[in-house]
Structure 1
C-alpha cells in the first residue's frame, strides 16, 4: 500500500491532541507516518505531544516541529513539504480518525487516478467524545449527498453549499503542485483550495465515515461571534470573486451569485437591511441566469 502522511496542525488543543495521535496509531492502515507541527500553542499542547512521542515514537514514523505561530495555511504548506507520502491525510489536532477511513480513501484515489482529492463523511462528537450527530455532511451542514456523485454536482456543492468539516480529506501530493497549495494569509483556506480543485474536476467522494469532528467550546463559540463571522464571510466573498475566472459556465455565474449571497449575509449581520435586499436581488438574478446557461449547455451537448 502507498505511504500516507497524516498532517496534523496543532494549536491550543491540549485536551484533545493525544486522542488525535492515538487514533492515527490505532488506524489499521499499515503504511503511514505522522507529520505534526505545534503552531505556537500557548497552552500545554506541545508538552502533550512530546509526552505522547516519548511513549510511541518507536511504533510509527513521526516528524515533529514546535515553532512560533504562522497560521493554519502556512502550517499546512510546511506539513505538506515535510511529508514523504504519496497521499496526504489532512488531520486536525482536536478531531480524530476512525479505523478504516485511510484505507477507503486510498483505494478510491488508486482506482481514480484523475482525481487529486477524495473526501468522506464524519460523525460529530462533543468535547467528551460522545457522538451527537451521525453525519457531519447531512445533520450538521444540511448537505445533499446525491450532489457528490458527479463532477457537476460536486462543483455545485463546493460553490453553493460548503459541507466539508473535520479531517475528511485525502490529497494526492502531486495535486498540490497544480493548485499551488494553501493560500497563506487566509482564514477560509480550505474553501479556497477546494474551489481550485473543483474547477479541475479533481474531487471525488466516498460515502464512508472516515473521522470524528469535534464540536467544543472554542470552535463552537467562533461560529456564533458576530464580528468573527463578518470577517470570515468578507474573506469568503473575496475568495469567491478571486476564483470566478477558473470556472466555465454556468458555474462561473453560480460563483458570482454565491458572492452576492455572502454579501447579503454580511449586510444582515451589520444591520444594513437595504444592502441585504440589493445583494439578494442580484443573487436571484444570477441564479436564474445560471439555470438558463445550464439549459443552453445541455442543449448543445444533446445536439452534438
Structure 2
C-alpha cells in the first residue's frame, strides 16, 4: 500500500496502573506506520491516569495520542466514545492490561484490504501472566479449547461464535463503516464483545487470520474470568438475554443453534444455583435443539451489502 490507511488504537483503561504503560509501549513497537492512540480512563481509582500522562510526556511526539479521563461509564459506553473520537479508517481494539504483538496491525489491515466484504477480522492471542510470562501459545485453542478450523468459512465462523465463544483479548480490527452498520456497542452490557461479534457474524462480516496479534494477560482480576458465583450468574444471565435478542438475525440452522445455546447458558446458571431439575431440563432442550440443527437445511446467506 503506497499510503497505508490510518488505524486508531482504541484503549479503554480502568484500574490498570501496573499494565497500561506496557500496553502503550506495544503500540510504538508495532512497525505499522499509520496509527493513532485514543485512550480513555474510565474512572480509575488507582494511578492509571498518572501512568498514561507520564507515558504521553515521554512518547507523545512519536505517535498521535488523544487522552481523556472522566467518571466511570462502563466498557460499552467507553468503546462508543473512543470510536466517536477516532479518526482512522480502521479501529483496532485494545485493552489497558493487554498488549499488541508486532506485525499484527499490518496482517489485519492487509486481510481487510483483500476482503472488502468483511467488516472486521480477528486474530489469535498468546496468553501471559502478570509479569508477561507466556502461559499458552494460543488463547483460542489452549485457553478456550476452540477448534480454529471452524474459522476457515463463514458458516464455520457463525457456528463458532454462537456455540463456543473463544475470542480472548484485544484481537479485533474493525472497519469504521462496519460499526456504523451494526450500531456499535450495546451500552449497559457488562460483557459486550459477544453481542458485537454475533451481529457481525450474522452478516458474514467477520474474518479470521491464524496469527497471534496480541498478548492476553491473566492477572486474577479479569472480568470474564471471575470465580465469584453471583457475578458469574449475572454475566451468564446477560449472555442468555443477548442470545435471545439476536435470534432474529440468523437463518437456519444457526438460529436453532443459538436457541440451543440459550438453554446451555441456562443450564450453567441452574448448576451454579444448585437447581438439578432445571439443569436436567435445560440440558435436554440443548441436546434436542443441537440434534435438530444438525439435520436442518441451511438457508442461502446474503453477503453483508445485500443483507
Q: Report the TM-score when normalising by structure 2.
A: 0.95
Q: How does 1:217-296 map to 2 (within 5 A)?
A: 217-219=220-222, 222-294=225-297
Q: For each residue in 1:188-235, what CA deviation from the matched residue of structure 2 results, as whole angstroms up to 9, or x when unmatched?
A: 210000000000000000010101000002117952111111000000
2:226 is paired with a residue whose SS is: helix
Q: For each residue in 1:254-295, what CA deviation from the matched residue of structure 2 results, as whole angstroms up to 9, or x when unmatched?
A: 00000000000000000001000111111111111111213x
Choose the corresponding residue for 1:46, options 46, 49, 68.
49
Distance 1:50 1:89 in 2: 21
Moved over 4 A (4+): none
Q: Report the counterpart of residue 304 of structure 2 in structure 1.
A: none
Distance 2:299 2:243 in 1: 23
Whether the 8 Å CA contact 2:251–2:299 is kept in 1: the answer is no
Q: Which runs of 5+ in 1 are unaligned?
A: 299-304
Query: Which structure is higher in helix share?
Result: 1
Distance 1:291 1:147 in 2: 15
Q: Report the counterpart of residue 60 of structure 1 in structure 2.
A: 63
Q: How does 1:1-304 map to 2 (within 5 A)?
A: 1-219=4-222, 222-294=225-297
Q: For each residue in 1:72-101, what CA deviation from the matched residue of structure 2 results, as whole angstroms up to 9, or x when unmatched?
A: 000000000100000000000000000000
Q: Which runs of 5+ in 2 are unaligned?
A: 301-307
Whether the 8 Å CA contact 2:191–2:224 is kept in 1: the answer is no
Distance 1:267 1:57 in 2: 50
Distance 2:12 2:223 in 1: 19
What is the root-mean-square deviation of aligned Cα atoms in Å? 1.2
Distance 1:79 1:286 in 2: 39
Whether the 8 Å CA contact 1:37–1:75 is kept in 2: the answer is yes
Q: Kindly tell me the number of residue pairs found equivalent between the two proteins.
A: 297
Distance 2:179 2:254 in 1: 22
Distance 2:75 2:175 in 1: 20
In structure 2, relative to structure 1, the CA distance for the partners of 1:147 and 1:98 (3 Å cut) is same
2:95 is paired with a residue whose SS is: coil
Whether the 8 Å CA contact 1:222–1:228 is kept in 2: the answer is no
Distance 2:146 2:224 in 1: 22
Distance 1:99 1:152 in 2: 30
In structure 2, relative to structure 1, the CA distance for the partners of 1:234 and 1:274 (3 Å cut) is same
Distance 1:228 1:50 in 2: 33
1:191 is paired with a residue whose SS is: helix
Q: For each residue in 1:110-168, what CA deviation from the matched residue of structure 2 results, as whole angstroms up to 9, or x when unmatched?
A: 00000000000010000000001100000000000100000000000000000001011
1:218 is paired with a residue whose SS is: coil
1:93 is paired with a residue whose SS is: coil
